[in-house]
Structure 1
Amino acid sequence: MKKKEFAVIGLGRFGGSICRTLSEQGMEVLAIDIDEDRVNEFANIASHAVVGDSTDESVLKSLGIRNFDHVIVAIGDNIQASILTTIILKELGVKHITVKATNDYHEKVLKKIGADQVVHPERDMGERIAHNIISNNVLDYLELSDEHSIVEIVASERLDGHSLLELDIRARYGINIVAIKRGNDIIVSPLASEVIRKDDILIVIGADKDIDRFEAKVLSEE
């Protein structure tokens, strides 16, 4: 089976991290940056590392960019270059384009010009940290969409000794407990008869408003 081929444009902290991780996973990775020092840093990490201006269509054509399965545009310090690069990649027929956005306006433009996926690492990490700070029960938070998330929640005393059937969480709150972490064990797709214990970690998926309602009404110690 042919390995997937990736190209990472922009080798700052975010792009560099993606390039390094993909390479460690044995993927074919082309690393591109306009800064020679950054390219040299990844010369022994990526499959190929080249100095190039991604806003120059002829440069991207010469690299055969349209043949890559997935191109990640991780240019963080120049919104104009990020947008122009994305437009060129679309025009060249790249199969899948993921682009890093630096602010909400940038994200809107990227979506309008056809980026397949837009990531907002600083904002998304900020949201995860904020959710962790606000609630003692929330261990981790991952946004699935604007309105849905997966959350790790610590079971409080109020849930201790009750089965999922008794709690009827799905019907009452519209959310699903997809797994339970208990010490070193993970119970995936727990049965309705599964009894929750205090300090179990519940992995919950659902709409943000329903998760918030569940946490407010059921998880409070009062």
Structure 2
Amino acid sequence: MKKEFAVIGLGRFGGSICKRLAEEGMNVLAIDSDEEKVNEFSNIVTQAVIADSTDEKALRGLGIRNFDHVIVAIGDNILASIMTTQILDELGVKHITVKAQNLHHEKVLNRIGADEVVHPERDIGVRIAHNVVSKNVLDYLELSDEYSIVELMAGQKIAGETIIDLDFREKYGCNILAIKRSDDIKVSPQPNEAIENGDILIVVGADADINRLENHWIDDNEG
């Protein structure tokens, strides 16, 4: 069965979520108080409606509690974001994801029932900064304040070495989750898998450990 999603707030963030979910064939209810935005998505999602998400009666009338996942993507109106989240929690929504504007906003959302809080602007900024600082980092995903998943480009220095030879786990506390080679992806590669120049290593570990790994083993292209 297809999951039922509701997205509240059709700005850039909420709109992109709606489009992606629709592309994946999900049933999506798009909600916004702006008629123009609702009309824009009426032919994209399953249903698009004009509604005030701070009105409990309106959300109840939409059957919001029956949706598997509700995403609150309200822009700069922090009060509306908080009120909407609280109502969704009181109505018994199964899973609530909310966009936060800042750390204080996040703390409040966590206290009133948000299951997951995201900072799209901050996360994009961190990812860009990480990529700019290191030319070997192709992509970056923060798992927590201390742990991340990164894609690292393997250079000539480690070409021909096997995973067991490199011993990332023992020396750096990092694990290779997968290796991308051209169009092929090897998940949980075997210890005897040899690294080739240009391979993309998908690595998980503490940020400090990943930095040490990258600087010592991966970055051999200086100068």
| TM-score, scaled relative to structure 1 | 0.95
Q: Which residue of 1 aligns with 2:184?
A: 185
- In the alignment, which residue of structure 2 is the partner of 1:155? 154
Hey, what does 2:114 align to over in structure 1? 115
Cα RMSD, aligned residues only: 1.3
| Mapping for residues 1-222 of structure 1, pairs under 5 Å | 2-221=1-220
Q: Secondary structure at the match of 2:179?
A: strand
Q: CA deviation at 1:65?
A: 0.9
- 3-state SS of 2:126 partner: helix
Q: Secondary structure at the match of 2:203?
A: strand
In 2, Cα distance between equivalents of 1:160 and 1:26: 41
Aligned-pair CA distance for 1:185? 2.4
**Consecutive unaligned residues in structure 1, runs of 5 or more:** none
Identity of aligned residues (%): 67
Tell me, which stretches of 5 or more residues in structure 2 are unaligned? none
1:158: how far off? 2.0
Distance 1:174 1:164 in 2: 13
Q: CA deviation at 1:212?
A: 1.2
Give the deviation of 1:198 after TM superposition.
Answer: 2.1
Amino acid at match of 1:124: D
CA drift of 1:165 comes to 1.4
Question: 1:210, CA displacement in angstroms?
Answer: 1.3
Residue identity matched to 1:47: T
In structure 2, C-alpha distance between the alignment counterparts of 1:70 and 1:180, rounded to whole Å: 32
For 1:11, the aligned partner's letter is L
C-alpha deviation, 1:90, in angstroms: 0.5
Tell me the secondary structure at the aligned position of residue 149 of structure 2.
strand
Structure-1 separation of matches of 2:192 and 2:104: 48
Q: With structure 2 as the length reference, what TM-score do the two structures score?
A: 0.94
| Amino acid in structure 2 at the alignment position of 1:32 | I
Q: CA deviation at 1:141?
A: 0.4
Offset at residue 181 of structure 1 (A)? 1.5
C-alpha displacement of 1:149: 1.2
In structure 2, distance between residues paired with 1:169 and 1:28: 43
